[in-house]
Structures are given as C-alpha cells and as structure tokens.
Amino acid sequence: MNMTLIAILAVFMIGLGIGFIYFVVRENEKPLPQGGVQWAAVGLSGLLVIFSGFLLAMTFVPNPDREVSSGLDEPAANFPFRLVSDESEHDLAEYEGKVVLLNFWATWCAPCLEELPDLDRLQQNYDDDGLVVVTISDETREQLLGYSDLLPQHTVSGFFDIGVLPQPYARTLATGRPISYVIDREGYLRRYIIGAGNYAFFERLIKPYLGNTVATR
C-alpha cells in the first residue's frame, strides 16, 4: 500500500479525533468530559488518535523485513537520467558488470529520507566489491538541491523524466516511494523492494550477487 497515503490518512484521523474531542467539551466549564456519553465519546476519539499516531509512526520506521521478490529474472530495461551534481546525461546500461541497487525516492517521502544515509554508507563500504547504488527521483534538480544536506554523497544521485520510464519500474512506482531494485552483474532484475529498509536489510540483499568472498565475510 502507498505509505504516503497511509500517512495522510493517519494525519486526517488524528485531526478528526482531536476536533471531535474539542467539539464535545468546548461548552463545559472545564475542558473535561461530563457524564457517561461525553466520556464514552472522548474515550473513543482518544483511541482513534492513539491508533492513528501509531500508524503514522510506522510509516517513518524502516522495516528490515519488508521485501518483495519480483520473480522477474529478466533484463533490466534501460532508461536515461541526469546527475544532480552537474546535470550530465547517463543511463542505467552504463553499470552493466556491476551489481546495481536502484532506488527510487522523493523529497516528500519521509521513509525515503530515513534510508538515504544507509544507502550512502552501503555504497562506501561495497564500492570496491562492484556495487553501484543509484538513487534517483522524478523531481526537478532544483527541488532536489533544496534538500542538499540530505542528498547522498557517494551514490549515483540523479533525476529522471517519469514519462520515459519503462516497465516494470513505472508500474511499481505507482505504488509510492521508496521502491528499490537489485540488478545483477549480467544486467538482470533479481529483486524489488516496496518500502524502506535499513543498512542490514540492503546489505543482506546485495551480498549474494557480489560474489562468494563478499557473501561469506
């Protein structure tokens, strides 16, 4: 499910619950419920606020067990993108022979921002082993530069035109952000991940494709 929509719904329900509590007690001499009906109404509204707050918090927490195996095992479709740093043109096919962790993110996506430092650290630690982490967004360069303090410094950080994005990326991207793909050295899609992960989660995904030495260390 789209995590952004879940967050929006949770915020709406929190506002609804708080608003209803205010409506119930607003005419009381003290800001406290009076009588059984008001206590019941306030109690139910309080439960709604608590549940919604829990739901909202969960959208910000990376889930290390959230993995969906694509089962595609087909060549990764190529597409062009530009680097945020200098707007130079590149494409996914440039990294054939490397293990690619392709991460689609957005500045409006809190879980995306949460996992970016882990992805950056992963690139640092496994660069010499043949890993390339590509972190890209369909937002403008200007929008991304507005988050320059959060942009990863070691990944291939880029932006792209969503109108040229081929399948299966376009289809899965419709579910929200973040979405990640693991592409092996032969250029085949092996995994896709819906939702955020942490360092240990992504490390576990990429190790089998980097080679026996890395996988066992």
* Cα separation values, 66 from 191, 195, 197, 199, 205, Å: 12, 7, 7, 13, 11
Question: Cβ(136)–Cβ(158) under 8 Å?
Answer: yes
Amino acid 65: pLDDT? 45
The pLDDT of residue 2? 47
Walk along the chain (217 residues) and give the pLDDT tens digit of each residue.
Answer: 445 566 677 778 888 888 888 888 888 888 788 888 888 887 888 888 887 776 655 554 444 444 455 556 789 999 999 999 999 999 999 999 999 999 999 999 999 999 999 999 999 999 999 999 999 999 999 999 998 888 899 999 999 998 889 988 988 888 889 999 999 999 999 998 888 999 999 999 999 999 865 644 4
| Residues across the chain | 217
Report field, pTM of the whole predicted structure over 0.95: no
- Residue located via tokens 């360092």: 199
Token code pair at residue 195: 């939702």
- Pairing of the two strands 189-194 and 179-183: antiparallel
CB of 108 within 8 A of CB of 101? no
* R_g (Cα) of the chain, nearest Å: 22
Q: What is the pLDDT of residue 104?
A: 97
Residue 215 has a pLDDT of: 46
Residue 111 in contact with residue 62, Cβ under 8 Å?
A: yes
Q: What is the pLDDT of residues 169-187, one digit of tens each?
A: 988 888 889 999 999 999 9
Q: 96 - beta bridge partners?
A: 98
pLDDT of residue 175: 80
181: which 2 tokens? 């793909």
CA–CA dist 217, 205 (Å, integer): 14
Name the residue among 59, 183, 199, 173 with its Cα closest to residue 119. Answer: 199
